[in-house]
């Protein structure tokens, strides 16, 4: 597989690191573009990686084209590559927030295989949750997208109308979980641990909680029931968090984030 990433910024870079460090599938070439390529200079030393500002060249050298520019930059990139995208060869995967498959078809045409993907930055450590949907032609090539994204985490195929929700839960979700971990760390420092110890305790406990759900398939409340000793300290803390609006503030934050996407 020859892969191009057009727009190697925060997310594009994370995708590139993830692809380079996974060993679940073989790729022939990784072609990375961005406006100012100085920060990617060291990547030129890798034999199967090419760096350029030339999107057309990147497309010509690839079978799978991942577009990872900001929403306001998408139209320009699509206009630039439309004459070199070949319906018989290319699969275009857009990870651009809030831009519909129909918008992309409007420039590239409906005979191009188009997949809309929503990964997150944990792709750089092989732990992305990536949601995928496609146009009619893209259905034939969704397996290629799954091969790429399953090698760097998990994938879920969803209806395109849920893509904005997936953006909030999975992509923005990384930031939301980071803030929860940071708050736990701050609490641990107040309770006597130094900062480094506090972060280790918070992160490993978070990983443990997620792993319990992954391995057991249980509902979170089943696991909570096992921890909350009657009249104990856990239920006391949990109830205080809810009195202060923990669940409510999280849900309101998710909905506010979702509403913002329609304005991007």
Ligand X SMILES: NC(=O)C1=CN([C@@H]2O[C@H](COP(=O)(O)OP(=O)(O)OC[C@H]3O[C@@H](n4cnc5c(N)ncnc54)[C@H](O)[C@@H]3O)[C@@H](O)[C@H]2O)C=CC1
Ligand Y SMILES: O=C(O)[C@@H]1CCC=N1
Bind-site residues: 6-11, 55, 68-71
Report yes or no: 230 and 239 within 8 Å, Cβ to Cβ: no
Select the residue interacting with ligand Y from 5, 68, 166, 171 (CB under 6 A).
Answer: 171
Structure tokens given for 242: 């809810």
Choosing from 8, 52, 62, 97, the residue that interacts with ligand Y (CB under 6 A) is 97
Q: Supply 259's token pair.
A: 């509403």
| Annotated binding-site residue numbers for NADP(+) | 6-11, 68-71
* Residue among 155, 111, 112 nearest 130 (CA): 155
Q: How many C-alpha atoms does 129 have within 13 Å on its Cβ side? A: 11
Contact of residue 153 among ligand X, ligand Y, none (CB under 5-8 Å per partner type)? none
Other CB atoms within 10 A of residue 203 CB: 13
Nearer to ligand Y by C-beta: 20 or 169? 169
Choose the stretch contacting ligand X; rule: CB under 6 A; options: 116-124, 147-155, 157-165, 230-238: 116-124
Residues 32 and 16 sit within 8 Å (Cβ to Cβ):
yes
* Integer angstrom CA distances of residue 5 from 16, 65, 70, 93, 141: 8, 6, 13, 9, 17
How many residues touch ligand X under the rule CB under 6 A: the total is: 25
Smallest gap from Cβ 129 to ligand X, in A, equals: 11
* Residue nearest ligand Y by beta-carbon distance: 171
The percent helix, strand, coil of the chain (3-state, each to 5) is 60, 15, 25
Half-sphere exposure of 38 (CA within 13 A, CB side): 1
133 interacts with ligand X by CB under 6 A: no
Hey, which residues does 131 pair with through a beta bridge? 118, 156
**What, of ligand X, ligand Y, none, does residue 155 touch, CB below 5 to 8 Å by kind?**
none
Supply the minimum distance, in Å, between the C-beta of residue 35 and ligand X. Answer: 4
Q: What does the angle CA 204 – CA 208 – CA 214 come to, to the nearest 5 degrees?
A: 140
- Examine residue 142 and tell whether it contacts ligand Y (CB under 6 A): no
Residues in the annotated binding site for NADPH = 55
What 3-state DSSP class applies to 160? helix
* Residue nearest ligand X, CB atom distance: 9
34 binds ligand X (CB under 6 A): yes
Site string for ligand X, 60-99 (x = CB under 6 A): --------xxxx-x--xx-----------------xxx--
Interacting residues with ligand X (CB under 6 A): 6-12, 33-35, 55, 68-71, 73, 76-77, 95-97, 118, 120-121, 171
Note the residues at the interface with ligand Y (CB under 6 A). 97, 167, 171-172
């Amino acid at each position: 597989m020859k892969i191009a990433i057009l727009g190697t910024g925060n997310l594009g870079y994370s995708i590139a690191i993830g692809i380079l460090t996974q060993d679940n599938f073989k790729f022939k070439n990784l072609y990375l573009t961005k406006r100012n390529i100085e920060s990617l200079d060291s990547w030129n030393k890798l034999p199967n990686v090419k760096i350029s500002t030339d999107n057309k060249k990147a497309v010509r050298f690839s079978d799978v084209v991942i577009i990872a520019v900001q929403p306001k930059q998408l139209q320009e990139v699509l206009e630039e590559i439309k004459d070199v995208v070949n319906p018989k060869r290319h699969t275009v995967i857009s990870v651009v927030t809030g831009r519909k498959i129909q918008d992309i078809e409007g420039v590239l045409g409906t005979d191009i295989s188009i997949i809309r993907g929503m990964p997150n930055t944990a792709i750089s450590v092989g732990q992305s949750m990536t949601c995928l949907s496609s146009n009619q032609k893209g259905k034939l090539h969704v397996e290629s997208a799954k091969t790429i994204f399953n090698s760097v985490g998990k994938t879920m195929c969803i209806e395109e109308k849920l893509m904005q929700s997936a953006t909030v839960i999975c992509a923005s979700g990384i930031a939301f979980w980071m803030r929860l971990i940071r708050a736990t760390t701050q609490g641990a420092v107040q309770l006597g641990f130094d900062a480094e110890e506090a972060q280790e305790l918070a992160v490993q406990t978070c990983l443990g909680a997620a792993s319990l759900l992954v391995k057991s398939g249980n509902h979170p409340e089943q696991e909570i029931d096992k921890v909350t000793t009657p009249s104990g300290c856990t239920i006391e803390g949990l109830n205080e968090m809810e009195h202060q609006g923990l669940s409510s503030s999280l849900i309101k934050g998710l909905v506010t984030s979702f509403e913002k996407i329609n304005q991007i």
